[in-house]
Amino acid sequence: MNKLIRKRLYGIGASAVAAAAVVVAGVTAGTASAAPAAPARATAEVVVASPAVTASWTPPKRTLVEGMSGADVKSVQKRLSSLKYYAGPFDGEFGNDTLEAVWAFQEVNGIPTTGAVDAATKRALVHPKTYKAKYPGQDKTRIEVNLHTEVLVYYEKGQIALISHVSSGGGYYYGGGARAVTPEGKFYTTVFLPGWVQVPLGEMYNPVFFVSTLFAIHGDTEVPLAPVSHGCVRIPMDIAAFFHNMVKTPGTEVLIYGTPQWES
C-alpha cells in the first residue's frame, strides 16, 4: 500500500485494513499487485472543456422527468448514448438508467443535478461539453474517477467510451473510528469477482478491484447523488453488469482525483 493511500485512509487502523483485505471469494490481497506511486494531485477541479463536436439534435418541447414515457424520451436516450452516457435501452421509458445518465451528463456539464431534462439540460444536450482528461499523457485505455463531480470516465484507445455517475467515499466515520474515504492516486485494476461478493463492510456487485481486494469499482442498488460509500466507487447496477467486460483485469490504469464534495 503506497504512502498516498495510507495518508488518505484517515484513521483506518492496521486491524481494520487487515480485516478489509481478508480472503474474498478465494482471492487474497497477496494475489494482487501493489499500486504504483500516485501522480501529483491536480489543483483544478473543473472537468468540463470545449463543446463536443456532435450532430445536430432537436430537444424535446416538454420538460422530461423520471416516470415519463414517449418518443421524446427515446430521443433523449439516443442522444445521451451518442455522448457515451448509458441511459438504458431505447424504450422511451424514463427509468432509473436514464435518470442516472442525466445526472452524469449534468455533472459533466456543470449544471444543477435535477435529474430532469429541463431548460438548462436541453441547451446542454444541444451544445454538450465533453469531459476534459486530467492526465491525457497516461495510458490511452484507462479509468478516471473525479471525486468532486462524482463521475467515472472510461477511455478506450484514447477515446471516451463510457461516462457514469458514481458515489464515492462519504467522509463519515464508521466502525472503530475509520473514515469513509476513496483513495486518490494512480492504481491498476487487480481482480474481478462476478456476482454479489461479501466483504467485511457489506456486499458489492461485480466488483473490479483496484487496490488489492480492498477498494473496488462495483455495482450497488443505491448510487445516490451524494458520496455515501465506505470508500469504494459505486456505479449503477446496469453499468456494473457490463463494465468488467470493457476493462482489462488486471492491468487497466485507474486515476482517482479531485476534492471530495464533503471537503469542499
Torsion sign, CA atoms 33, 227, 171, 195: negative
Nearest by Cα to 166 from 249, 94, 83, 231: 231
Predicted TM-score (pTM) of this structure? 0.80
The side-by-side arrangement of strands in the sheet containing 142-146 is 159-165, 151-156, 142-146, 253-257, 185-188
Nearest by Cα to 5 from 182, 134, 170, 171: 182
**Identical fold, 3-44+133-263 and 48-131:** no
Q: What is the pLDDT of residue 264?
A: 64
Phi, psi of 165 (to 5 degrees): -70, 145
Top mean pLDDT of 127-141, 144-158, 164-178, 249-263 is at 144-158
Q: What is the pLDDT of residue 158?
A: 93
Share the mean pLDDT of the chain. 82
Nearest by Cα to 121 from 60, 78, 164: 60
CB atoms within 10 A of CB 223: 23
The owner of cell 424504450 is: 91
Torsion sign, CA atoms 93, 76, 225, 222: positive
Is the predicted pLDDT of residue 19 greater than 90, yes or no? no
CB-based contacts of 118, cutoff 8 Å, min separation 6:
63
Q: What is the pLDDT of residue 54?
A: 54
Residue 50 corresponds to which cell in the numbers above?
470545449
Is the predicted pLDDT of residue 157 greater than 50, yes or no? yes
Q: Which residue has the higher pLDDT, 174 or 150?
A: 150
Q: What is the pLDDT of residue 44?
A: 31
CATH homologous superfamily of 48-131: PGBD-like superfamily/PGBD (1.10.101.10)
Average pLDDT of 1-30? 34
**Residue 214 and residue 187: Cα distance in Å, rounded?**
12
- Tell me if the domain spanning 3-44+133-263 has CATH number 3.40.50.720: no
**Residue 154 and residue 1: Cα distance in Å, rounded?**
24
Is the predicted pLDDT of residue 60 greater than 60, yes or no? yes
CB-based contacts of 219, cutoff 8 Å, min separation 6:
204, 205, 206, 234, 235, 236, 237, 239, 240, 241, 243
Q: Any idea where the domains of the chain sit in the sequence?
A: 3-44+133-263, 48-131
**SS3 at position 231:** coil
Is the predicted pLDDT of residue 242 greater than 90, yes or no? yes
Amino acid letter, 172: Y
**Residue 195 and residue 211: Cα distance in Å, rounded?**
19
